[in-house]
Structure 1
C-alpha cells in the first residue's frame, strides 16, 4: 500500500502527461503481481467496493472529530478523502501504534471484496489507524473510486504497453475480456507469454480520432477532392459490437469512445444489435424521425440503467459513420471509400430505422464545403440541421487506425457562440485546484419584478489560465457576500461584478433551470475586467439562439 500511496501522491502533483506516464511505467515495472494489477484496476475505474461509501467515511470521522470542525475543514480543503486523512487521529497508546502496520494493496482489495456491510467500518478504521497521512488519503481514494490524479484509463493502459514493445491499441483490443489483477496481460506485455485468450466475440476496437482543421493552413494545402465530407452530429461517439461465442451465446455491447461498456444504460440499442459486426457512430435521441436536442440525450447519460419512462420519452438511436468488422472480417485496413460502400449495404439490410446511415455532404470545393458548414439547414431538414455541430473530413483512401493520426481525419466545428455573463457563485475545485475557487456559475440580465436582475444560465470550470485562476480566486475571496457550504456567492449587482466572456457550442430549452435555457459545453473564453457588469448580455440574447421547437 505504501508504494501505491506514493504513486498517487506523485501523480496528483505532476501536471505533465509524459511524466505521469513515466511514473506509472516505473510503478508497474517495480511492483509485483497482483498489487500492480489492482492498482491498474483502480486507475482505470474497474475497482469498486459496494459497502465503502462516502456516507460511511463521514460517519467514521464523526466518531473521532468534532463535526463542526470537520465541516469547516472540509469547506476549506474541498476534498473529502484529503480532509479525513488530515484529521484522522493516530492511536494514543505508543504500544498500540507500534503494533499497527500498513496493509498490502492486495490485502485491502481481498478483504473489502469479501467483507459484509457490518465488517467494513472496522476494517477501514484499523487500516486508517495504521497508515500515515498520505496512506490514509490513498486508501480513501481507492475505496471511494474517485482518484482524481489526472490519469485517464488510456494513459494507464499506455503505461502498461510501455513495459514491452506493444502499442496501447494492442492492450485495448483485449481489455474487455480481462479482469483484475490482469496477470495474463502483464505476462504478455513483458514477453513472458502470448496474448491473453479472451475469446470475446464483441470486443472494443480503439477508435480513430480527428485533428481540428486549421483553416489558414489546411485549406490551402489539402485538395478538397481527396476528402469525404460528413456531418458532425451533436451526440456522443459510440461503438456497437455484436457477435456469438463458440458455445452459440449472443454477445452485444455498446461502448463509449473511451471503451466504457454502457450497454445497461441503453437496452433499447442493445436489442437492435442482431448482427455479427462492429459499427462506429453517433448516439442520439431520435423521435418520429427527428433528432432531438443534446439535452434530451443528457437525461440518459451517466446512468447505470434506464427505466421504462426514459426509454419511452427519450428513444435512443445510432447514426452510423463506419463499419469496422463484419461477419468475422476485419475491415479497418480497407480505404474509407471501400468501407463506406460496405457500410451502405450493411445498413440497408437492417430491419430497424433506429440504426441509420449518416448522410454524406456532396463536396465540390472548399468554398462550397465552408458554406455547408455555415448553413447546414440548406442541406438537411430543420431538426437535423439543428443537431449538426460541424463537419468531418476523411480522406477517401484512409484506413481506420487507432488514435489521432496526422492528415487522415479532420473535424471542422462551427464557430462557438459567445456571450458576456456575470459571475454569481464560485465553488472550490478538486485535486490540485482544491485550494482555489475554480467552478463558476454565471448569469445574464433580465427584467424582474423589482427591476433588472441576474438569472443563472450556466456553469464552467475551464478555459482560463493558472494566472487567471489566481485572479478570479482573489476576486471571489474579496467580494464574498454569502456562503452556502462549499459555495460562495459573490457581489453581482449593476455596479460591481466580474464579467466573463463565455463560449458555448449550443443552447436548448430547459425546465430544470430558472432561466429556461441550458448551455452545451460552456467554458470561459476570457475575463472582461474592462466591462461594467451592467453591460453584460441579457437573457433575450440567449433566447434568440434557442431551437425553434415545441
Structure 2
C-alpha cells in the first residue's frame, strides 16, 4: 500500500503530463501483481468496492476527535480524505508487525466484507496504516481520486510501458477485468496479446484539430467535405456477433443509460456518431438541446418515463465496421457511402445521418458557420475526402471550425476550495448577473454559473486573496463574498452555449463556462444582466460539446 500511496502523493504534486506518465510507467513496471492491477483500476475508475459514504467516515472521525475541531480542520484542508489522514491517530505502535497491508490484500478484504462489517474494517485499517497510506486508502474507498490523472493518461502510460500503441490498449480495455493480470503479462513480454471473448469492443476515435488562423490558406476546399457539428456527445455504437455496446468517446460503457438505442439496432457493425435527444431529421421533428440530453446521461439505469420524455437517437458521422469488415483504412468518401446505405435501413426514430454542407469556398462556409440553420449546431466539421479513420488527433485530415464563444461580465458571489493540488486555494467560483428583484427592491445578483478553470496560477492567487479578504458569510465549505454595486470582483466568463433550465434559480444554464479574464477595471454595477443571457437564447445560441 505504501508504494501506491507514494505514487498518489507524487502524482498530486507533479503538474507535467509527461512526468505523470513516467511515474505511472515506473510504478506499473515495478509493482507486483495484483497490486498494480488494482492500482490501474482505481486510477481508471474500473475498481468496484463496497464504497464508504462520507458520513460514515465523519462518524468514525468523531469517535476520536472533537466535532468542532474536526470541522475547522476539514474547512482548512478542504478535502475529507486528506483531513482524516492527517488527524487520525492510529493505535498500532511504530515498528509493529501489522501483517499484510498490500494494496491487493486490502482490496480483497473490501470486496469480501459484508455491509454490516464495513465500518469496523475501515476503522481497523485506518489504525494500522501510516498517514500517507491512510490518504491513499481513503481515496480508494471513496472512489474520489481527483489527482489530475485521467483514464486516457493511464492507458498512455500502459502503452509506453509495453511499447504498444495506446489504441491497442483501448481496444482491449472493455474485454478485460481488474486486476488485469493478462494485460500486464502481455505488456511485460511474458505472454501474447490477450484474446477477447467480447467482439463489441471500443475502438479509439478519430479527433479533429481546431482551424487555425492560416490553416485554410494552405488547403483546397475541393479536397474536403463539410458537415455540421452537433450539440450532443460523441459516441460509438457497436453490434457484433450479438453483443451490443454504446461507448462514450473516452471509452466508457454507457449502454445502461440508453437501452432504447441498443434495442433499435438491427444491423451489424460499428458506427461513430453523435448521441442526441428529440426527433431525428428523418422524422421531421426538432432535435433538442444538450440540457435535455443531460437528463439521460450519467445513469446506470433509466426509467421508461424518462425514455419517453427524452427519446434518444444516434446521428451517424462515420462507419468503422460494416458487419465484420474493417472500414477504417478506406477513404472517408467510401466510408460515407457505406454509412448512407446502412442508415437507410435503420429505424428512422433512432438513427439518422449528419448531412453534408455544400460549399465552394471558405468564405461561403464561414458565412454558414456563423449562421447555422439549427440552434443545436455549434460549428462545422471539415473532413478530407481521402482520409482513413485514424485514432487520435493529428493535424490535417479533420478540422473543427467552431462558432465563437459567448462572453459576459459577471460578479463573483461564492467560492469553495478546490481538490488535489488546489485544496489550499479557493478555486471553484459561483458568479452572477444583475436582474430586477421580484420584491421591488431594485436590482439583485442572481447566480448563473460555476467555473473552476480558465485562469492562470497567478490569477488564481488574486482570486483566492480576494475571497479570503472579502468573505461575508460562511455556509459549511462555501464562502459568500462581498458583491455590491460598487464593491466586488468582476470576471469575464466565456461559454460555448446557453439554454433555459428549470433546475437553476436564474432559469438559464451555461455550457462549458470558464473565467477568461479578471476585469479589475470594472465595478460590479457594470456587469451584465440576466436579460442579456435570455436574449442569447432567444437569438438561437447553441449549447455545445467538444469533439
TM category (shorter chain) comes to: over 0.9
Match runs of 1:56-455 below 5 Å: 56-91=56-91, 94=93, 98-101=96-99, 103-214=101-212, 216-244=213-241, 250-287=242-279, 289-377=285-373, 385-448=374-437, 449-455=440-446
Question: How far, CA to CA, are the matches of 2:245 and 2:348 in structure 1?
Answer: 17
> Which of 446, 457, 465 is equivalent to 2:448?
457
Instruction: Give the deviation of 1:425 after TM superposition.
Output: 0.7
Quote how far apart the aligned CAs of 1:101 are.
Answer: 4.9
Q: Which runs of 5+ in 2 are unaligned?
A: 541-547
Moved over 3 A (4+): none
**For each residue in 1:357-385, what CA deviation from the matched residue of structure 2 results, as whole angstroms up to 9, or x when unmatched?**
000101211001101101112xxxxxxx1
Alpha-carbon contact 1:231-1:392 (below 8 Å) kept: yes
Aligned to 1:11: 11
Mapped partners of 1:103, 1:397: distance in 2: 56
Q: 1:469 aligns with which of 450, 460, 463?
A: 460
1:326 deviates by: 1.4
Query: Aligned partners of 1:222, 1:367: CA distance in 2, in Å?
Result: 13
Contact 2:322 2:338 in 1 (8 A): no
Q: CA deviation at 1:90?
A: 2.3
Distance in 2 between residues matched to 1:164 and 1:49, nearest whole Å: 28
- 1:234, 1:387 within 8 Å by CA — same for their partners in 2? yes
Task: Give the distance between the partners of 1:329 and 1:108, measured in 2 at CA.
Answer: 45
Distance 1:68 1:268 in 2: 50
SS of corresponding position for 1:353: coil
Question: Structure 1: how far apart are the matches of 2:450 and 2:424?
Answer: 19
Distance 2:467 2:245 in 1: 46
Structure 1 position 547, deviation (Å):
4.1
Q: Deviation of residue 309 (structure 1)?
A: 2.1
Residue 543 of structure 2: aligned partner:
none
Deviation at 1:352, TM superposition (A): 3.3
- Greater Cα offset, 202-211 or 47-56: 47-56
Contact 2:78 2:477 in 1 (8 A): yes
Q: Cα deviation per residue 1:16-63 (whole Å; 9 max; x = unaligned)? A: 000000001100111111111111111110112135332322221121
1:492 aligned to which of 457, 479, 483: 483
C-alpha distance in structure 2 between counterparts of 1:521 and 1:162, whole Å: 32
Deviation of 1:126 (Å):
1.7
Tell me the CA shift for residue 300 of structure 1.
Answer: 1.5
Q: CA RMSD in A?
A: 1.4
Q: TM-score under structure 2 normalisation? A: 0.95
After superposing the two structures, state which structure 1 stretch, 63-72 or 256-265, moved more.
63-72
In structure 2, what is the Cα distance between the partners aligned to 1:507 and 1:169?
35
Instruction: Give, in angstroms, the shift of residue 274 of structure 1.
Output: 2.5
